[in-house]
């Protein structure tokens, strides 16, 4: 479902992503963890077509986001690390605008908006201006926008920042259901308990390269640590080498 072939990204004389190969299958929840400055957010921007690779190609369900960006973007959803919407728009206007961009028929658009607002207990807030929302509300609207068109792939950059505990549990449930129904997720995060709990495979990313990957149990075993060790401890073990 997601395939990176020899992907590199350079900014002037600095290489941020180094000849990266990665394959993520349909129905897989892949979590990428790593320190600040490792290149995780750059990678997400490459995957979503916000940046173009200097070298290599990225295939999403067999479609190159480099060569056919409009086609590839039609079946992906993106939850950025910082939810950004025009301040003068209401929540409803934003969601309606996103649905229109994905060519959702009006009836389907309204039905999905109502369903997702109800899911996050946001019904009644949709006519407020974005600038008046709390950080948590902004994040919820960003998640709803990513799910609105029933994407096949979700790209997530720090999904639960600003969410209250109940909303965190709901969001985790939404992501878990998404992959169980055949969706594919790539998430970059510093919130390791979410990666440990939800991801079917985890990659440790450092200096633009994946230095280790596998299930949580496989990573712990490779590090010669008990499988009851926290992912935080496992992660630190790989970075300390």
Q: Any idea where the domains of the chain sit in the sequence?
A: 2-75+152-239, 85-150
What average pLDDT does the structure give for the chain? 93
| End-to-end CA, the chain | 32
pTM for the whole thing?
0.93
Q: Determine the 3-state secondary structure of 12 from DSSP.
A: coil
- Could you give the angle at the alpha carbon of 79 between the alpha carbons of 63 and 34, nearest 5°? 90
CATH class of 2-75+152-239: alpha beta
- 77-126 tens-digit pLDDT: 999 888 878 889 999 999 999 999 999 999 999 999 999 999 999 999 99
Tokens of 123: 């019904």
For residues 66 and 171, give the distance between their C-alpha atoms in angstroms, rounded to a whole number. 30
The whole-number pLDDT of residue 213 equals 96
21 has pLDDT over 70: yes
Asked if the model's pLDDT at residue 128 lies above 90, the reply is: yes
Residue 18 predicted with pLDDT over 70: yes
State the average pLDDT over residues 142-156: 96
150-172: pLDDT as tens digits: 999 999 998 777 788 999 999 99
């Amino acid at each position: 479902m997601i395939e990176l072939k020899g992907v590199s990204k350079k900014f002037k004389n600095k290489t941020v992503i180094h000849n990266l190969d990665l394959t993520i299958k349909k129905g897989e929840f892949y979590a990428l963890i790593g320190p600040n400055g490792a290149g995780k957010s750059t990678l997400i921007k490459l995957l979503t077509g916000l940046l173009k690779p200097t070298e290599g190609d990225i295939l999403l369900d067999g479609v190159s986001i480099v060569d056919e960006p409009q086609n590839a973007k039609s079946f992906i959803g993106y939850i950025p690390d910082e939810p950004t919407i025009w301040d003068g728009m209401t929540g409803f206007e934003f969601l309606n605008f996103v649905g229109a961009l994905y060519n959702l028929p009006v009836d389907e658009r309204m039905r999905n908006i109502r369903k997702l607002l109800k899911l996050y207990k946001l019904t009644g807030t949709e006519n407020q201006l974005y600038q008046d929302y709390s950080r948590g509300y902004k994040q919820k609207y960003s998640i709803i926008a990513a799910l609105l068109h029933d994407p096949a792939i979700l790209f997530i950059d720090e999904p639960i920042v600003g969410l209250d505990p109940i909303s965190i549990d709901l969001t985790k449930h939404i992501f878990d259901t998404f992959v169980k129904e055949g969706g594919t997720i790539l998430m970059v995060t510093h919130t390791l308990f979410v990666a440990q709990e939800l991801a079917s495979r985890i990659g440790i990313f450092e200096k633009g390269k994946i230095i280790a990957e596998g299930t949580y149990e496989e990573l712990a075993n490779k590090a010669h640590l008990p499988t009851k060790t926290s992912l935080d401890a496992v992660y630190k073990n790989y970075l300390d080498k």
